[in-house]
Chains A and B, each alone.
Chain A
Amino acid sequence: MKTLADLRAIKEKAKKEMATREQSAKYRISVAMGTCGIAAGARTVMSAILDELSKRGIQDAAVSQTGCLGCCDQEPIVQVTDADNRTITYGKVSAEMARKIIASHVQDGKVVSDHVFDMA
């Protein structure tokens, strides 16, 4: 360790890795993982979300999963909550759709309107 800058480089990297434990995330993304959701393909949606976030280097988003929301016909369901606690619910999300949600909604703040089925 030669300089404070060396130390801070390690710090920044480690902070990103720990972001899951700090609830400072700008967006909270939750994937419904009830039996219905999983049956409808929620696991591939989850993988796609994690992959896309990491590809784009997005660090201020926390991903979690919830249970069945009671609208099984809309599964897989993905919800995105912003810093003002506004939640957008997307229905019938495919892996490809999930990547689009990350690119547009989470990265640029633009809701992907054609798959929204309920605005809470």
Chain B
Amino acid sequence: MHRNHVLVAMDAHTIAQGARAVRDALMRNLEMTSLTSEVKVVETGSLGIYNRGVVLVIFPENVYYVGVKVEDVAEIVSEHLIKGRVVERLHYTDVPVEKAAEMGAAPRFGKQQRVVLKNAGIIDPESIEEYIARDGYEALGKALTEMKPQDVIEVVKKSGIQGRGGAFFPTGLKWSFAAAEEAKQKYIICNADEGEPGTFKDRLILEGDPHCVIEGMALAGYAVGADMGFIYIRGEYRMSIDRLNRAIQRAKENGLLGENLFDSGFNFNIEVREGAGAYICGEETALIESIEGKRGEPRDKPPFPPSVGLWGMPTIVNNVETLANVPQIILKGADWYKSMGTEKSPGTKVFTMVGNINNPGLIEVPMGTTLREIIYDIGQGIPEGKGFKLAQMGGTTGGILTGAHLDLPMSVEALREIGSGLGSGALLVVDDSQDVVELVENFVEFFNHESCGKCTLCREGNGRLLELLQRINSGKGHVADLNLMEELAVTMMKGAFCGLGQAAPVPILGCLKYFRDDFVRKIEAAEMAAAA
């Protein structure tokens, strides 16, 4: 029995700030002070505290330490673990609400609600036992022993959950398409090719709670009649890949993946497939091409993957966050899920807040939380006393939101109404000191680089847009260029082959719509300077 558990957050952010060295120093210090039998060190995923260096939590006191350096470790051990005195200079009291609530303390920001992230930062992601302790694999057991595949699909349908990759297609409906296909082989693919700039929710789910994704995939497999799953993940996500592989191994050892699970006759296996660096592979048919060892270029649709997918077989492609929701939906029921969020967008949504914001990072809130609540309450506003210029919701392909949208609820339907979307859930906040025209050039630079080159509109369209923007930014633009840009952008939106080319113009048109004056001012100022 251990009197203290010390949680060390080990995610890409904290590792970039030296978490490994701190953990090693902690282990050394505990050994030196003979505390290894009394104090357990647990590596967890992200604790939801960012940009504050290495983060430790000591239980049962529930004390958070931030900015911990190797040289602080001896003090934490001798002061806190031996003498019981909190090291105030490292003590962090702005604890995210869901962790505080989890521990029975008073919620600080009542606006977050953790469903998908309920385990991240609480459990040791390397321990299948800790996942099981918090209801893990209970949904799979329940489905395999008490439910028919059709019942599983019905619950998911009734819950109203929509795909969290950005398209928000009803998950239950997608599953029913694949279930209806007659085929000797079907596949489940988990899309973990998270490449949308500003998005890192999937990585943190995989790093913090890999088993919930594995369980979600097995449930999907049972529902549609697939016995094989692939997790397609960015090659850059080294830590997630390692954790997933170990989690799959542990699930196999415990008979939670493999043959005849729960004595039901259902088999399910999972293989991790690494990407090799291509943004377009987040598009589901490009992803399938990539697993097949080819250039990741999108396919013609229809047929859609639920009918003809990987190696020509019916295939479900679901996002990490979608799959991570599934076990709890099966366990707690559709009504529970519908009790969160809005009527048309049930559930919670994980957002990543980035850019000019005081409290950047990952949050999970019910669908329908307003932009103002997210930016000003949870995100604690904009740094250096600057004003709010715009926000981009959903990554670089996302729509532009302005001050007029601050009270808009962040739900699928509310954003659809203004011609926008939630996309990947990345929220880029931009302050009023930023140059919008340069920002738009940055967007287009990105698309120009990531266009796969298959269709002319996207390949050439982005290239020409970039030329126009570079011209304006170097002081050689004309006001007439703005109309040209608009015309080109609208043509791309209508005619590009896949989602990338169709979505690329969205932020450009948004900025032209809301900030046309910024463009005109820049062009006219340059013209006047040249004439003088």
In the bound complex, CA of A39 to CA of B368 (Å): 57
Number of cross-chain contacts by CB at 8 Å: 101
CB-based nearest A residue for B142: A4
* Any A CB within 8 A of the CB of B1: yes
B103 on the A face (CB < 8 A):
yes
Contacts of B5 in A (CB 8 A): 20-21
Query: Across the interface, do A33 and B83 meet the contact criterion of CB distance under 8 Å?
Result: yes
Contact A4 B1 (CB under 8 A): no
- Give the complex CA separation of A1 and B261 in angstroms: 6
Question: Could you tell me the distance in whole angstroms from the C-beta of B201 to the nearest C-beta in chain A?
Answer: 24
Q: Contact check, B104 vs A3: say whether CB atoms are below 8 A apart.
A: no
Q: Is the CB of B104 within 8 A of A23?
A: yes
Of all chain A residues, the one with the shortest Cβ separation from B84 is A65
Asked if B62 is at the interface (CB within 8 A of a chain A CB), the reply is yes
Whether the pair B84, A10 counts as a contact (CB closer than 8 A) is no
CA distance A23 to B62 in the complex (A): 9
A10 touches B129 (CB 8 A): yes
Contact residues in B for A30 (Cβ distance below 8 Å): 84
Minimal Cβ-Cβ distance residue in B for A58: B1
* A20: B residues at CB distance < 8 A: 2-5, 40, 59-60
Chain A residues, Cβ within 8 Å of B104: 23-24
Inter-chain CA distance A4–B137, complex, in Å, is 9
Residues of B within 8 Å of A21, CB to CB, are 5, 7, 59-60, 103, 122
Q: Check B132–A7 contact: CB distance below 8 A.
A: yes
Question: Does A53 contact B1, Cβ atoms closer than 8 Å?
Answer: yes
Q: Which of B3, B133, B141, B142 contacts A50 (CB 8 A)?
A: B3
Please provide the chain B residues from 133 to 149 with a CB less than 8 Å away from any CB of chain A in the complex.
Answer: 133, 135, 137-138, 141-142, 145
With the chains together, A67 CA to B59 CA distance in Å? 16
The answer to whether A65 and B83 have CB atoms under 8 Å apart is: yes
Contacts of A80 in B (CB 8 A): none
Contact of A119 with B by CB under 8 A? no
A54–chain B nearest beta-carbon distance, Å: 4
B262 on interface, CB distance cutoff 8 Å: yes
Q: Which residues of A contact B499 (CB under 8 A)?
A: none
Interface residues of A in 38-57 (CB under 8 A from B): 38, 46-47, 50, 53-54
Interface size class of A (residues with CB under 8 A): 35 or more
Interface residues of B in 1-34 (CB under 8 A from A): 1-5, 7
Answer yes or no: A64 CB below 8 A from chain B CBs.
yes
A78 is an interface residue with CB less than 8 A from chain B: no
A18 within 8 A of B: yes
Known: A21-B122, A62-B60. A14 touches B82 (CB 8 A): no
A93 to chain B, nearest CB (A): 15
Q: Which of A14, A28, A32, A38 contacts B132, CB < 8 Å?
A: A14
Residues of B within 8 A of A50 (CB): 1, 3, 38
From B146, which residue of chain A is reached at the shortest CB distance?
A4
Tell me whether B133 and A14 are in contact (CB under 8 A): yes
Size category, B interface? 35 or more
Give 1 or 0 for each of A72-115: 1 = CB within 8 Å of chain B CB: 00000000000000000000000000000000000000000000
Q: How far is the CA of A32 from the CA of B82 in the complex (A)?
A: 10
| Given contacts A2-B255, A2-B263, A33-B84, A46 and B141 within 8 Å (CB-CB) | no
B254 at the interface (CB under 8 A from A): yes
Most B C-beta atoms less than 10 A away, residue of A15, A18, A23, A30:
A18
Q: A1-B141, A23-B62, A34-B83 are in contact. Are A64 and B133 (CB under 8 A)?
A: no
B61 at the A/B interface (Cβ < 8 Å)? yes
Partner of B83 from A2, A14, A53, A67 at Cβ < 8 Å: A67
A13 to chain B, nearest CB (A): 7
- Chain B, 22-67, CB within 8 A of any chain A CB: 38, 40, 59-62
| B494 is an interface residue with CB less than 8 A from chain A | no
Query: Would you call B3 and A63 a contact (CB within 8 A)?
Result: yes
- Complex: chain B residue closest to A35, CB-CB: B83
Of the residues A14, A31, A33, contact of B130 by C-beta under 8 Å: A14
Considering only CB atoms, which chain B residue lies closest to A12 in the complex? B133
Cβ of B454 under 8 Å from chain A: no
Q: Return B254 CB to nearest CB of chain A, in Å.
A: 6
When A7-B141, A14-B132, A21-B59 are in contact, do A1 and B82 touch as well, CB less than 8 Å? no
- When distances are taken between beta carbons in the complex, the residues of chain A under 8 Å from B1 are 50, 53-54
Q: Are B262 and A2 in contact (CB under 8 A)?
A: yes
A64 and B261 contacting across the interface, CB-CB below 8 Å: no
A82 CB to nearest chain B CB (Å): 15
- Shortest A24–chain B CB gap in Å is 8
Given known A-B contacts A14-B130, A21-B59, A30-B84, A1 and B262 have beta carbons under 8 A apart? yes
| Residues of chain B within 8 A of A67, CB atoms compared | 83-85
Q: Does B256 contact A (CB under 8 A)?
A: yes
Which residues in A have their C-beta under 8 angstroms from that of B129?
10, 13-14, 17
Most buried by B among A7, A11, A66: A7
**Interface of chain B residues 80 through 108 with chain A (CB within 8 A):** 81-85, 103-104
**Which residues of B from 254 to 274 have beta carbons under 8 Å from A?**
254-256, 261-263
A25 to B84, CA, bound (A): 19
A–B pairs, 25, beta carbons within 8 Å: A3-B145, A7-B138, A11-B133, A11-B138, A13-B129, A20-B5, A20-B40, A21-B5, A21-B60, A21-B103, A23-B62, A23-B103, A28-B60, A33-B82, A33-B83, A34-B84, A38-B83, A53-B1, A63-B60, A64-B4, A64-B61, A65-B81, A65-B83, A66-B84, A67-B85
Q: Which residues of B contact A (CB under 8 A)?
A: 1-5, 7, 38, 40, 59-62, 81-85, 103-104, 122-123, 127, 129-130, 132-133, 135, 137-138, 141-142, 145, 254-256, 261-263
- Top 10 A-B pairs, shortest CB-CB distance: A65-B84, A14-B133, A1-B255, A14-B129, A63-B3, A54-B1, A62-B60, A67-B85, A66-B84, A4-B141
